[in-house]
Amino acid sequence: QIEECGIICRVPNWWKRKYAGVSVNVRLGEEKPTLLGGDQLIRMKPELTVDGIPLSQEEIEDLLKQTEGLAYLKGRWVEVNHARLQALLKEAEKYKGDLSILQALRMETGIEDEVDIDGAVRITNGKWLGSLLTQLRQPSSLEPKAVPSTINAELRPYQKTGYNWLLYMQNLGFGACLADDMGLGKTLQVLTWLEKVRNQNKDARVLLVVPASLLGNWQKEAARFAPEISIQILHGHGAEVLRNMLREGDAFLTVTTYGMVNRLDALQEIRWDALILDEAQAIKNPGTKQT
């Protein structure tokens, strides 16, 4: 309209740039929770920010009092939109409180939906959660743990990494899927981890479920690499005999087959300290009886 009146306007480039907007930043897991495990809670800390710089409650209230348009704040021009600010404040309230570690991990991997107001809600990792995710994604960055002296083998570097990762997952209270290619020594890595568990808790009991064709292999490998691990094989007898063997035995490692698990209900009477599934694809279908 000004130019229509015959006035020539020259607008500087900085006038055309996009002004800073207010957004919500939610930090997850700044501090380590008291206990660890997938169901343990970590703190969510939502805050309104401008270009990543947190706004105080006083600054937010001041923006709401100002006329809509532009306001100079934190050394930059900020767009003032009362409706948007109110929506962001309402959204921030939803992120106050706690979140389980598993929920946080699902959010990180995009499994759970994130609420987004024109790209204004950002989820970032706190110091502790960020460190946890780095170590989960880069097992080689984990602090090396000593291999038990009772293991009769020299682990290769990648096997030591797998062993350290299993210990790390155990300490977090998480399950783990060791998916190295065939022939790379997954059995040795698991036996090394089991020997560490046995050294930490002499009364521990572990259940190992395998295809029947691998029973002999596990027995042979354990005798070779971890001879101090006591093993009980639940296979090759009637259900009643196996039930009595289980109830009367106190072996550290109990080995049975997928087929036997369905028939031997006495397995459910014991509180196992760990459950290991070899060839775990045997339970890939959640709708089957075996799973």
Percent of the chain whose predicted confidence (pLDDT) is above 90: 22
> Are 242 and 191 members of one domain?
yes
* Residue with more model confidence, 1 or 276: 276
pLDDT score of 62 more than 80? yes
What average pLDDT does range 134-148 have in this prediction?
A: 86
Within a domain: 288: no
Full residue range of the structural domain in which residue 11 is found: 3-135
pLDDT score of 184 more than 90? no
Tens-digit pLDDT profile for residues 249-274: 788 999 988 888 888 788 888 888 99
> Are 44 and 89 members of one domain?
yes
- Give me the pLDDT at residue 238, please: 74
pLDDT score of 246 more than 70? yes
> Are 157 and 253 members of one domain?
yes
- Give me the pLDDT at residue 11, please: 60
What average pLDDT does range 51-74 have in this prediction?
A: 84
Within a domain: 191: yes
Within a domain: 142: no
> Are 70 and 167 members of one domain?
no
Q: What is the CATH number of the domain that holds 240?
A: 3.40.50.10810
What average pLDDT does range 7-12 have in this prediction?
A: 69
Within a domain: 192: yes
> Are 169 and 118 members of one domain?
no
> Are 167 and 276 members of one domain?
yes
How many domains does the chain contain in total?
Answer: 2
> Are 96 and 209 members of one domain?
no
> Are 74 and 167 members of one domain?
no
- Work out the pLDDT band at 149, boundaries 50, 70, 90: very high
Within a domain: 164: yes
pLDDT score of 165 more than 80? yes
Please state, rounded to an integer, the average pLDDT across all residues of the chain: 82
> Are 88 and 196 members of one domain?
no
> Are 97 and 172 members of one domain?
no
- Work out the pLDDT band at 112, boundaries 50, 70, 90: low
Tens-digit pLDDT profile for residues 79-93: 788 888 888 888 888
> Are 109 and 12 members of one domain?
yes
What span, in angstroms and rounded, lies between the C-alpha atoms of 168 and 165? 5
